[in-house]
Structure 1
Amino acid sequence: MIDCAPATAIVIGDGVVGLNVALALQRRGTAVTIVAPDAPWRGASWGNAGHIAVEQVEPLASLATIRSVPGRLFSSGGALALPLRAIGTWLPFSLRMLLAARPARFRRGKAALSALLATAIPAWRQVLADADAADLLRVDGHFVVWETPDSAARGRAAWMAADTGTASVRDASPEELARLRALTDVPITGAIRFVGSGQIVDTTALGAALTTRFAAQGGTFVRGRVRAVGGDGRVTLDDGTTHAADVAVVAAGAASAALVAPAGMSAPLIAERGYHIEGNPGDWPADMPPVVFEDRSMIVTRFAHRLRAASIVEFARIDMPPDPRKWARLRGHVASLGLSIGAPVEPWMGARPTLPDYLPAIGRRGAIAYAFGHQHLGLTLSATTGEALAALLHGETPAVDLTPFDLGRFG
């Protein structure tokens, strides 16, 4: 067990979660080394929609989600892909998800996730203020729009009745509706605006700001892939070199499960893969919050210099090659909507690390700590995760009870 605050730490992973854990430890005086492959800015930390989704307080491991599966399948025009060649991966995960969706467990998960999400934006404000990058966070809500009267009526009713945590929902004003209709060639029959959600305005700039802050605070990077994590906090890289610290923090996203398994921790992760295309923003307004085209399960976000359309939930192995049909579907949506994503249009695919109950893993066992499994909420929850885990490691009481996020829940 860790009997005192760690003087040194190794953080495995340089995604947005790993960087935030490292920064939070540094704020408490811990000397931190980040170990990660030499391929930054490519993962789901940076390829997401930039959305700070504090409204998503209901875990996706729910009976409502399961009932919706047939209508969401990619083969039927939806955004949920269950590749047959990956059935050995997603079928066991799905069975675990069914167990996690039982009403009592869902209610406990929702309470835990709600508490964590309530701290997300304050945590980001603190992190970005420390990094002299407060302008990268914009708390300006987001829109959800529909293209048919029926889907607008159903969607609006569902969101107005939903628990949205610290965010609230209202109908789009006539002026807002006019702006939204000007974005697309397809009629928009209804729209709502969330108030209290946010956006990172440039995920690449975010990575640079956090990395710069980490280095300025004395942090060091070791480029390499971790092969094993010892119970004493020692990590071994693929090239055989070792590095030792008082605590090793596994924050390696979808690659984390294999690193904690030798310590007896079960992490039934799946690579829940998402796709996006992005290009020059054209005449898309720079101040437009993210827009969710709910009929297409697609979110469009204007970043500082790019416009990104993101979608697809693909349950697969992390090593499977991307499926070009997913990008073709996105291009088809963009073309039919007449969106102003200009050339060059670039494709991307990344793996969201997802656990069957759709709660993250945050905790520690002896000299090994962990922070991964944030599914669609990695960007949203990374700052508060870093703060909570660092508090735990330093013997403080975290702002949120971390018991529901302990990996012991999986046996």
Structure 2
Amino acid sequence: MRVNIIGGGIVGLCSGMALAEAGHRVTIIDDDADRRAASWGNAGHIATEQVAPLASPASLRTAFRRPFAAGGPLDLPLSGVRHWLGFLPRFLAAARPAAFRSGSAALGSLLDGALPAWQHMAALAGKPMLLRADGHYILWENAAIARAGSAAWHAADIGTASLHTVEAAEMARLASLVGVPIADALRFQGSGQITDLGALADALEDAFRARGGTIERSSARLAVDGGRARVEGHDADIVVVAAGVRSRALMEQAGHVVPLIAERGYHIRAAAGEWPAGLPPLVFEDRAMIVTRFADTVQAASFVEFHSPGAPPDPRKWDRLERHVRELGLPFAPPFTRWMGARPTLPDYLPAIGRSRRIGNLVYAFGHQHLGLTLAAVTGDLVRALIERERPMVDLAPFDLARFGE
């Protein structure tokens, strides 16, 4: 079939790869030639352990202790109130215990296949070395927070990942990297990392084109005529919306209710310096910050800021990241490059993956919040199954947009 995919981020690219590999004629339409989207600025973490959606009773209990103004990662700026005020009631409903349990089961079903799907996708792209499956660390500076955090992780459903005590030699290695005392640490196995996001994008685009795919660098205009979706200027049998935060406007044109918000994150990046090349990502949980070594850079990332995707960045967040790096004595230093990107987030922190009930030839895959990179490859497989009307590997009912109303 002829398939047009709106969006060339990681979900769109993986969907295009899966479809092109299956023999379909695929065009990806995307105007982010500079790769400013969240797909290319994230922490590179394949987070198989994050089975619990952030719409949870635990999030409600701790939110008042985590605002940006008090040193935490959560920010609901008053300047963005019109964007997040309507989001909150749906978030609160999704955080109720019964809804949270259902959401965890649904998200876990996707995460079960996330790492194998990435291993297959990296092999298709001809770059298996871009994926490392050697886990990550969580570190704590405060002993009381460490006890509570460790207990919470040991009690949590972490899916296919596993937890291990950090041995003395490992702890010494971590302590030599950090300029403050470490109260405790945990080692996760079964999670992974992309070692170079730019190289991954290049490899996927090259492999996609080698399979006959086309990438057009332009903005896409979705139209609905006679009950069918089309991208203006492009003929196709199927249209896939995988446009991240831009998906809301596109799907609302097709008559869908899409309560999606831009959940903005920030990072700083610098030359790798003395940071060990083989060290897995480090999560400094006291500071809600993850530090990742990529090919020749090190990146520190944090923050959950609900706002418009196009609002100006808040430089105080970059300043705080730089302060964290200084206070921790981490071995990477200015000059820093600064980035801000918008994660596409739905109130229940589940993605939207399905076939439109209104428009027969419209398929969608977006709203992956913090797990866009993690779930991209498995989502590509599900998009292919939807288009070929094959039974998907997981129940897609929890991810149907109809959950928000027709």
Amino acid at match of 2:322: R
Corresponding residue for residue 97 of structure 1: 91
- 1:397 paired with 2:391, answer yes
1:36 to 19, 27, 30: 30
Q: Structure 1: how far apart are the matches of 2:174 and 2:197?
A: 24
How many residue pairs align between the two structures?
400
* 2:305 is the alignment partner of 1:314: yes
C-alpha separation in 2, matches of 1:293 and 1:166 = 22
- Could you say which residue in structure 2 is the equivalent of 1:14? 8
Match of 1:342 among 307, 311, 333: 333
Verify the 8 A CA contact 1:229 1:248 in the aligned structure 2. no
Residue 268 of structure 1 corresponds to which residue in structure 2?
Answer: 259
Structure 1 pair 390–204 and aligned structure 2 pair: CA distance change class (3 A): same
- 1:380 pairs with 2:374: yes
Q: 2:283 aligns with which of 272, 277, 292?
A: 292
Match of 1:235 in 2: 231
1:4 corresponds in structure 2 to: none
Map 1:77-96 to 2 at 5 A: 77-96=71-90
Amino acid at match of 1:389: V
Greater mean deviation of Cα atoms: 338-347 or 401-410: 338-347
Decide whether the 8 Å contact of 1:232 with 1:246 is kept in 2: no
Report the secondary structure of 1:243's partner residue: coil
Q: Structure 2 counterpart of 1:398, which letter?
A: P
Displacement, 1:10?
0.3
Structure 2 contact 135–280 (Cα < 8 Å) conserved: yes
Distance in 2 between residues matched to 1:395 and 1:47, nearest whole Å: 33
Amino acid at match of 2:239: A
- Mapped contact 1:148–1:189 kept (Cα < 8 A): yes
Alignment of 1:59-78 (within 5 A): 59-78=53-72
- Correspondence 1:160 to 2:119: no
CA distance in 1: counterparts of 2:239 and 2:9, whole angstroms: 16
Q: State how far apart, in whole Å, the 2-side matches of 1:263 and 1:48 are.
A: 30
Q: Which runs of structure 2 are paired with 1:106-255 in the superposition (5 Å)?
A: 106-230=100-224, 231-236=227-232, 242-255=233-246
CA distance in 2 between partners of 1:64 and 1:139 (Å): 28
Does structure 1 conserve the Cα–Cα contact (< 8 Å) formed by 2:8 and 2:32? no
Gaps (5+ residues) in structure 1?
1-6, 237-241
Per-residue CA deviations over 1:354-387 (Å, capped at 9, x if unaligned) read: 0000000001121111100000000000000010
Question: Structure 2: how far apart are the matches of 1:74 and 1:214?
Answer: 41
Query: Does 1:353 pair with 2:347?
Result: no
**Would you say the 8 A contact 1:229–1:260 is kept in 2?**
no
Counterparts of 2:32 and 2:9, CA distance in 1? 12
Rounded Cα–Cα distance in structure 2 between residues aligned with 1:33 and 1:227:
14
Q: Is the 8 A contact 1:51 1:290 kept in 2?
A: yes
Structure 1 distance, partners of 2:32, 2:304, is: 27
Instruction: Give the SS at the match of 1:112.
Output: helix
AA in 1 matched with 2:235:
A
Displacement, 1:104? 1.4
- Supply the distance in 1 between the matched residues of 2:373 and 2:190 (Cα, whole angstroms): 16
* Deviation per residue, 1:45-89 (Å, 9 max, x gap): 010000000000011111110111111100000010110111111
Contact 1:233 1:368 in 2 (8 A): yes
**SS of structure 1 residue aligned to 2:85:** helix
How far apart in 2 are the matches of 1:244 and 1:404? 31
- Alpha-carbon distance, 1:38 to partner: 4.4
Amino acid at match of 2:17: L
CA distance in 2, matches of 1:34, 1:76: 43
Aligned with 1:52 (options 21, 46, 50): 46
2-structure distance, mates of 1:339, 1:246? 52
Q: Which amino acid aligns with 1:77?
A: G
| Contact persistence 2:222–2:229 (CA under 8 A) | no
- Letter of the 2:231 partner, please give it: V
Deviation by residue 1:172-192 (Cα, 9 ceiling, x = unmatched): 111111111111111111000
Q: Deviations over 1:113-153 (max 9, x none)?
A: 00100000110111111111111110001000000211111
- Which residue number in structure 2 is paired with residue 363 of structure 1? 354
How far apart are residue 229 of structure 1 and its match?
Answer: 3.5
RMSD of the alignment, in Å? 1.0
- Identity among equivalent positions (%) equals 56
Structure 2 residue identity aligned to 1:80: L
State the TM-score, normalizing by the size of structure 1: 0.96
178-187 vs 294-303, greater mean Cα deviation? 178-187
The offset of 1:228, in angstroms, is 2.4
Provide the rounded CA distance (Å) in 1 between the counterparts of 2:370 and 2:25. Answer: 30
- 1:396 match: secondary structure: coil
Offset at 1:315?
A: 0.4
Partner SS for 1:234: strand
2-structure distance, mates of 1:181, 1:404? 43
How far off its partner does 1:39 sit? 2.5
How far apart, CA to CA, are the structure 2 residues paired with 1:389 and 1:66? 33
- Is it true that 1:24 corresponds to 2:18 in the alignment? yes
Distance 1:328 1:194 in 2: 29
Segments of structure 2 that go 5 or more residues without pairing to the other structure are none
Contact 1:301 1:308 in 2 (8 A): yes
Letter in 2 for 1:144: I
The offset of 1:106, in angstroms, is 1.1
TM-score where L is the length of structure 2: 0.97
